[in-house]
Structures are given as structure tokens and as C-alpha cells.
Amino acid sequence: MASLILSPAEQDFIIRGVEKGFRGDGRGSLDRREVTLRTGMISQANGSARCRIGSLGVGTDILVGVKAEVNTWAAGEPEECGTIVCNVECSPSAAQEFEGRGADEINVELTQLLDRIVGGEQSGLDLRKLCIIPRQAYWVLHIDALVLDVKGGVADALVWATRAALLATKLPRVVVESVTDDSGVARAEFDVVDDAEDQMGLEGARDLPLAATFNQIGRRYVVDASEQEEAVTQAKLTVAVSPKMEICAIQKGGMLKGFAPSLLSEITQTALRIAKEEFARFDALFAEASKHNGELDEEPSTGSTFLEPF
Amino acid sequence: MPRPDRRENDQIRALHSILGLLNRVDGSAQFSAGSTSVYCGVYGPVDVKVYDEKLDRAVIEVKFRPAAGVSGTKDRWVESAVRGTFEREILAQMHPRTLIQINIQAREDDGSADAAAINATTMALVDAGVPLRDMVAAASCAVLADGAAVVDPTLEEAAAAQSVHTFAFAGSDIGRAGSGGASGSTSPVYVDSRGDFSVADYDRCYDLCLRSAQRVLAFMRTAIEGKIAKESQISVV
Amino acid sequence: MDVDMESQDTRDIASRIVTPGSVITNDTAFMRGHGTFAERTTIYSSVAGAVERINKLVSVRPLKQRYSGEIGDIIVGRITEVASKRWRVDVNSRQDGILLLSSINLPGGIQRRKSESDELQMRTFFAEGDLVFAEVQSYFADGALSLHTRSLQYGKLRNGTFVTVFPQLVPRSRSHFHTLPCGVDIVLGVNGYIWVSKHVPASKVEENSELIYSDKNEFISDDERETIARIANCIHLLNRLYVKITDTSIIFAYEASLTHAVKDLLTREIAIDLAHNVKTRLEQQS
């Protein structure tokens, strides 16, 4: 990510501060910034969510849409499962740095990160339930993430937003029938029920993980680094933890140096330790967001609505 | 024949906008009509590299990205259309040797996305403080198989239509037409017509779009003035 | 002109909220300023904002604007490029500012003749990423700001942290360097770039002029770190809630913030509450 350039004096101030337990904004080393979560803002998607991690309306801001499509099975593909396809893009309308080739690299990196965490069985989703007719048809879930702003901690916002979008995803019901044709051969056929009331959530969505990113700064590490803290980070580790308190994925990023093995295990232990709190926080935010489902959000002072069509 | 969402033929969908929702750019706006939602980020005026600069005016660049899929030639068309429209309205001579970058992202497309793109661009330019000669408001209209002309068509309606038209008008022209000027005498600043249509079809769509653009303009002005009024109070202290 | 008519006219014009293309006036007595354009005898607004009138000059100030410098402005800038005999400086404007080698203070206090070695060792003075406290001296032909740091108070910034705010929230005033009662120094750049740091007595810098280009921080105590973080958060919340940023408003915010933990100052409810508190006190003051 186009990194902030800081003067040596600024860097020293931040690093020494972190080592003494003082982060620039007064947070403790394991404190996350304010998280804002909204769901249901993309009506054409099967599920959608927007997550911002930061403070006072400024922060890393990611919008995720989930679209389900029926695919025809082809030889070589898994015979009794559906699939998940991830795509992450940084929107150029959000920042000038998100234009051109620089953005391509970032997009690829983030797509791989998301894919590793939620792109398959490891996500907790029951892919078998996404199969419609074995060797014939299955659901593909397209997870499309749009990065609107980056102020440190992209991986976390990406995973939180994706978990929320998948939890909010509703698939239409599919009716499968056996049809016998004139020559007596029985075939399976399916029909997608077009009824907004008759939809189901994704099996296993409750098992989706959350992620926390740990940045090593000096001799300590912090959770949810700010933009300035990212600029003095030596190494960082994103740890995805499932609600069953299992580690699903670990991804290292932005390396200037490697991690000492002892630090690695310390960080993963810390990730497990804070996971309970993180899930509790997520659940509270998600419940709140679901109540306002679909309502267009954001600071009311900048938004206007004419609700009556005219 | 009733429309799928039960709107009248001359009724546009519910409008919603947000000004200044993006933090890293100089100006931004989201514009939505029903489920169609487009947002725009404006960067500039900024210094432009010497070989790109125009000596007497700002260079205007437009990028449009669709809601889904890879961007293609149709999107290039939208880009050049938006650029052409706003090149006339932006007072580019005020910022010679600079660049104004307009980045449009369609978030959700349920029809009339190009009109929404133009409207979002107007609001983002205003949010950025880029000097404009006038505001631009756009609306679309489709002529259906049964000959009916409907404004602000949805994706479904546009796909089944015989022709689809998008018009954009400058604010002062809309005002003049509204106060009893002969309609048909107001030139749009942007027109895009596709499909099979007669002159009569075109005229009908023109009228419908002009009236819809009036409503869109009123909405945009109210939204902008409202924001300024609130924030002027705040910044007095 | 009849006095009544004139005051009605001017009352009508100022403070109106306009959008691009709005007619401001047809009266040829008025001259057009920023944010307007004229066609024939009519002055129109080119931006959205409130109309301002100073005597016969009519202008419109939009809410948001990149910083555009004026001579004499005190600013904070970040070095983006080291070139031959000059530095390019990000000043939060549409163009980078320029700091010429001939416009800076050289160690030894007195301006000595520029030698070859000074040019080759540009980075011993300022390198990419450094923050400088400078004054706008003049403009170049292409409109770029020319900066200088020739007074001893200016130079490289150390011992603290950087905060960005909307430039229009920092009013121009006589002084932009303040030592706050809580023991922290602040530099309020008119361009929206702000520096918050440990207080270092001016005398210390004067005695030891090599310090002006040092990259090393002084020792900063835990209390000082906490105060710096508190002030920085106060400035953030004043910015996001659109309150003017001056030494006074920062002090008011600081005092009101003491009942909260530093990290809580950036949570929505508390920030709104504190900003409201500050605005009330500022209103009472004026």
C-alpha cells in the first residue's frame, strides 16, 4: 500500500512510544479502533456489508457484495460441492494511489489474502450444501470486495466485512426433481424458486473466522495498526481465528525482516486470547446492523434522501 | 400497461445522495436512484506533468468502472461522454496547467447508470470546489415495445425496450425551460440514444427527460445547500 | 443611491447560499472575487457556498478547498524530493512548494557563502520525509510557493507527532507557534498540517544551532507522551466535528477531555460531546 513517509524523528517517536506501551492515539497495544458495520446496502447482491475500522468517520473502509450464481458442472471439478470465488479491488475513485499498476499489485495481494481465509472449506462454510445436483449444477459464491479507503489494518476490515456479508447472504431455495424422459432414463432437474420470502442463509456461516493483524514495531507488537504505525512496521502477521477458537489461517505481510519463532507463537496465542472479545464485538455490531438492514447509512449531515418517488 | 414497480411513466425512482463520503480525494459524491447507485471521486486541480499540461486550461481526465465485470468499450464511451459534457461546464481556464481527475465507480446497476454517473459527477465536482459554469442534471427514458415512453428505466425495462435515451441538461437551461420557455429549444449538454426510434419518440423522451432533470436538479441543489447551511453554522465558531 | 436600498441590496447578497450557475447580482457596481465568474453584466457563482461581500467585492467561499498559499503564511510541510539546490515540499496544496538552499539557515547562525559541499550534502539539512516549519516568502512564475526557514524558530520538526486537518479550519493569525499550559508545543500550519511536540525551551535551540537539523529526539517522559496523544486526539476531534482550530479551542478541548481516557476521545459520542462543549465556550467568549 502506498506507505506514508515519516521523518526519522516521527518514526523514533512512534517506535519508542509503542515500546513503552503508548500508542499515538492513546490505545493499548491490543486495542482495536472503532468499528462500524452495515449490511444490506447492495440490493442486487445476495448479501452485502460495509465495514469501517478507524475513528470519527475516517478509517479503512471496505464494501463487500456476495452474488450467487448457478454453474454447470464440468469434468475435473469437485463433484458434490459448490465453490467460492474472491475478488478484491481498490477503487480509484477513492484515492489517486489506487490507479494503474500499483493498484493491480495491491488487488492481487488482498485477493490472495481473502481467498486463503474464506475461499474454500477452511472458511467454515459447508460447500457440500452449495451443490445443487452432483456432477450437474452447483452454486458459485462470488465475493467482491471494494476498498474505499485505507488507514491501516486492511486485512481485518476485509475479513470482518466479508464475514458480515456472508452471514447476511440469502440463497433462493432450489427444488430438485427426478424427471423420466420417453426412453425411460431418469434425470435430475432443478428449479430455482423465485420468492424473496423463501430464502435460506448459508450453512456454516456462523463458523466463519475473524482476522486480527499484528504489527511488529520495535520490540513490541500491536493490533490494528494506524496508518502511521504501518509506516514503522517491521513485520506483520494476520491471524484468522474461527469461533471454535481454532486458527484457520496465518498470513504474513509487508516484511522488512522475519519474525523470531518465539514471537510467532506468542502472537498466535494472543490472537486466540483476544478472539472471544472480537467475536462478541462483531456479533453485537452485526445484530445492530441487521436491525437497520438496507437503510442507507453514513453521517446524516452529508446525506439527503427523498424517499417518496417523484 | 403498469410498470413492474408500479411507477407512473413519468415518475423517477427515489433519489438519495451523499456528499463528501470519501476522505482521500478532494471531492466525492454518491448518487442513487432506486437501486442504481454510482459514486464519483474528484481529484484536483493538481499539478500535471509538463508534457500533459494545457497551457491555458485544466486537463480533465475521466475514468468509469462498471459495477460488475471487467470494464469494456461501452465504459470508454461513457468516459468520453462525461468528459465532453464536463469539459464545457468546468471553468478550466481558471486553473491552467493543472489536471482534474474524475473517477466514477458504478456500485450497483439497475438501469440508467449513465445518468446517475453524470449526476454523481456534478455533485462530486461541487463537493471538490471545482469551479463550474453550471450544474448538470441527467435523466434517462426508454421507449417500450408497446410504444410507451417511461423515465428512469430499470435494467429489465431497458433490456426489453425498443430504444433508450439519456439526456443531460445544464441548470440554467433547465430553469429557462421551466419558466415557460418553448421546450425543444433547450439544447442538452449530453445526448445518447440507442435502438430503433422515430423523431416523435425522440421528442417525447426529450420532454420527459427535461422534466425529470428538473426534479433531479432541485434535489441536488437542496442536498448541497442543506449541507452548506449545516456546516456554515458549525464553522462560525 | 438611496441608503435604504443600498443596505437592502447588500443584505440580500451576503450570506446567501448558492450553487454553481446561481445568479449573484446584476448590479454593475459590484466586482467579482473568488468563486465567481461573469458573463456580460451578471456575476454568477462558480462554486457552492455562502456569498461573502467585502465592500464592493463579492465572492463565494466553498466549504472545501485545497490550501492556496499567501505570502507570509506560516506552514508545516513535508519534504518530498531533494533536487539540485532545492527541495520540493508537500504543503497540502495543488502544487508542491519549493525550498531553495539559499532560503534556509545554515549552522553557524550567520549566512555564510554557499560552497560546493553544501549542495552535495543537501540531505544533511533536509531529506525526504522530514517535516519543516516554514514561511511562505513569495511565488514562482508557475504559482508554486517559495518557502524560507531563515529565522531560527523555523526548521526541522522533532519530538512529537503530525496531525492533518482541513486547512480552512486554521485561521491566519499573528502567531502559529504556541506553548500550551499543559506543557506541549504546537505548530498550527495554515495549510492544515499541524505538529504537536514536547516543549523545548527556545533558548536551548539558540545555544546549540546544530540542533536545528538534528534527527534525534530529546528524551520524552511518559507523562509528556500521554499529553501529546491527548492533544493530538483533541485536534482530530475538533477537525472531524468542524470546529476552528486555534490555541484557544485546543486548550478548551484539552480541559474538557480530562475526565476521559485518551483513547476514548475518538469515540463518536464523547467526541461530539466535547466538540459541543468547546463550541459553547467559544461562543461565550465572543
Residue A300 forms contact with B (CB below 8 Å): no
> Residue B97: which pLDDT band, with cuts at 50, 70 and 90?
confident
Subunits adjacent to chain A (3 or more Cβ pairs under 8 Å): B, C
Instruction: Collect all residues of chain A within an 8 Å Cβ-Cβ radius of residue C227.
Output: none
The total number of residues written for chain B in this structure: 237
pLDDT band at A1 (very low <50, low <70, confident <90, very high): very low
Residue C235 in domain = yes
Q: What pLDDT shows up at residue C116?
A: 60
Please indicate, yes or no, whether residues C172 and C120 belong to a single structural domain of this protein. yes
Going from the C-alpha of A169 to that of each of A193, B12, B108, C253, the distances in angstroms are 16, 29, 17, 44
Chain A residues with CB under 8 Å of B25 CB are 93-96
C133 within some domain: yes
In this structure, the answer to whether residues C117 and C203 fall within a common structural domain is yes
pLDDT of residue C3: 39
Verdict on whether the full-model pTM lies above 0.90: no
Query: Touching C: which chains, 3+ CB pairs < 8 A?
Result: A, B
Q: Give the residue from C17, C35, C62 where a domain finishes.
A: C62
Based on the fold, state whether residues C186 and C229 are members of the same structural domain: no
- Residues C104 and C148 occupy one common structural domain: yes
State the pLDDT confidence band at B148, using cuts at 50, 70 and 90. Answer: very high
Chains that contact B by 3+ CB pairs under 8 Å? A, C
Candidates C129, C217, C268; nearest CB to A34 = C268
**With 60 as the cut, is the pLDDT of residue B180 above it?**
no
Number of independent structural domains in chain C: 3
A82-122, pLDDT tens digit by residue? 999 999 988 776 766 666 666 788 888 899 999 999 988 88
In this structure, what are the phi and psi dihedrals at residue A180, rounded to the nearest 5 degrees?
-100, 125
Interchain proximity C261–A26, CB inside 8 Å: yes
Q: What is the CATH number for C143?
A: 2.40.50.140
Sign of CA dihedral C53, C54, C58, C63: negative
Together in a domain, C240 and C162: no
Whether residue C108 sits in one domain with residue C198:
yes
pLDDT in tens, A215-274: 999 889 999 999 999 999 988 899 999 999 999 888 887 666 677 778 888 999 999 999
Kindly list the residues of chain A whose beta carbon comes within 8 Å of any beta carbon in chain C.
5-10, 12-14, 16-17, 20, 22-28, 31, 33-34, 55-58, 228
Tell me whether strands C145-149 and C97-104 are parallel, antiparallel or unpaired.
parallel
Q: What is the dihedral of CA B80, B82, B85, B86, to 10 degrees?
A: -110
How do residues C60-91 score in pLDDT, each as one tens digit?
988 777 788 889 999 999 999 999 889 999 99
Domains and CATH numbers, chain B: 15-235 (3.30.230.70)
Distance from the Cα of C27 to chain A's closest Cα (Å) equals 34
| C108 and C52 within one domain | no
Closest Cβ–Cβ partner in B39, B40, B108 for A42: B108
Same domain flag for C244 and C135? no
Interface ipTM:
0.86
Q: Which of C178, C213, C248 is the last residue of a domain?
A: C213
Can the peptide bond before residue B45 be classed as cis, meaning omega within 30 degrees of 0? Answer: yes
> Domains along chain A?
8-295 (3.30.230.70)
B16/A302 CB distance under 8 A: no
With 0-12 / 13-18 / 19 or more C-beta atoms within 10 angstroms meaning exposed / middle / buried, residue A8 is middle
Q: Are C204 and C230 contained in the same domain?
A: no
Domain containing residue C43: CATH number:
2.40.50.100
Which chain A positions have a beta carbon within 8 Å of C261's beta carbon? 26
- Whether residue C68 is contained in a domain is answered as no
Range(s) of the domain holding residue C12: 3-62
**Residues of chain B contacting residue A99, judged by C-beta atoms under 8 Å apart:** 63, 103
Instruction: Please report whether residue C277 resides in a domain.
Output: yes
pLDDT attached to residue A295: 60
C170 and C241, same domain (yes or no) = no
Residue pair C89/C79 in contact (Cβ under 8 Å)? The answer is: yes
C176 and C137 in a common domain: yes
A13 burial (CB, 10 Å; 0-12 / 13-18 / 19+) is buried
Q: Does residue C95 sit in the same domain as residue C201?
A: yes
Mean pLDDT over all residues of chain A? 86
Residues C219-228: tens digit of each pLDDT: 999 999 999 9
Smallest Cβ–Cβ distance between C21 and the set B47, B128, B134 belongs to B134
pLDDT, position A140? 94
Query: Of C62, C89, C107, which residue sits at a domain end?
Result: C62
Residues of A in contact with C222 (CB under 8 A): 20, 22
Looking at the domain assignment, is residue C24 inside a domain?
yes
The answer to whether residue C209 is domain-embedded is yes
Query: Residue C69 domain-assigned?
Result: no
Instruction: Assess if residue C67 is contained within a domain.
Output: no
How close B137 gets to chain C, by Cα (Å)? 12
A57 contacts in chain C (CB < 8 Å)? 240
For A131-175, how does the pLDDT look when each residue is reduced to its tens digit (9 = 90+)?
999 988 999 999 999 998 888 889 999 999 999 999 999 999 999
Report pLDDT for B99: 84
A20 CB-contact burial (10 Å; exposed 0-12 / middle 13-18 / buried 19+): middle
Smallest Cα distance from C157 to chain A, Å: 8
**Cα separation of B144 and B204, whole Å?**
12
